[in-house]
Amino acid sequence: MAGTLIDRAGMPRCRRCKLREVACFCESVQSLNLPFEVHILLHPLELKRPSSSVFFLQLDSQVNVHLYQRTELITPQPGDALLYPESVETSSVHLDSLTTASLRIKRLWLLEGTWQEAAKMLAKQPLIASLPRISVSDQESRYPFRKNQRGDGLSTAEALLASIDDEYRQDRNRYYDCYLRHAVASMNGHAPC
């Protein structure tokens, strides 16, 4: 285990996967085999929420987490896209009919926070907001820890996994299900079944 910290209930948590030590996921970590780099703009309040799905994603070396700071502008690069639902002002590519390889994405940006926090981050990051958007739809969330404020809302991890349609999709979904078993066990204070 990569070291411990103590949560509000007095239970030791792994510093790497953020789950309670009794349900640590670190020995099960494997590559997500992502076809591009992932960059997550993380709202600072998410660091205090053990239910954040970004802790699952950050275990992969292709995932880069950036702590959001209101005064620091992020400059995207050519080949970047934003995974975020479309709005009236924007248009998105729906991934129901496309594979990410056909879009030539090099880096995919995601926002991690509540819907309100994500909207505020997007408003303060005009260059990120101007990126081509990709959205996923017709998916039901399997993430048991937060009640979504939107009917079509997925956790950040689920949205990323749903956005990639390639030969590793089933492997990624099985891996995510394994993580969820560990996360539920962690929340309940016991080892996974």
Q: What is the 3-state secondary structure (H, E, C) of 137-176?
A: CCCCCCCCCCCCCCCCCCCHHHHHHHCCCCCCHHHHHHHH
At residue 180, the pLDDT reads: 95
- Is 6 inside any structural domain? no
- Which residues on adjacent β-strands are paired with residue 40? 65, 110
- Is 24 inside any structural domain? no
Q: Is the distance from CB of 159 to CB of 110 less than 8 angstroms?
A: yes
d(CA 67, CA 30): 24
Q: Is the distance from CB of 156 to CB of 40 less than 8 angstroms?
A: yes
- Is 157 inside any structural domain? yes
- Is 7 inside any structural domain? no
* DSSP symbol at 134: E
Q: Return the SS3 of 104.
A: coil
- Domain span at residue 114 reads 33-188
Q: What is the pLDDT along the chain (193 residues), one digit of tens a residue?
A: 455 688 878 889 999 999 999 999 999 999 999 999 999 999 999 988 877 899 999 999 999 999 998 888 888 899 999 999 876 455 555 454 345 555 678 999 999 998 899 999 999 999 999 998 888 876 788 888 766 556 567 889 999 998 888 888 899 999 999 999 999 999 999 999 7
Which stretches within 105-168 are classed as H helix?
Answer: 115-124, 126-129, 156-162
Which one-letter amino acid corresponds to residue 12? Answer: P
- Is 1 inside any structural domain? no
CA angle 55, 75, 66 (to 5 degrees): 15
Residue 175 C-beta-side C-alpha neighbours within 13 Å: 20
Q: Is the distance from CB of 18 to CB of 50 less than 8 angstroms?
A: yes
Nearest Cα to Cα of residue 182 among 23, 13, 22: 23
- Is 10 inside any structural domain? no
- Is 193 inside any structural domain? no
Domain count, the chain: 1
- Is 38 inside any structural domain? yes
d(CA 17, CA 56): 7
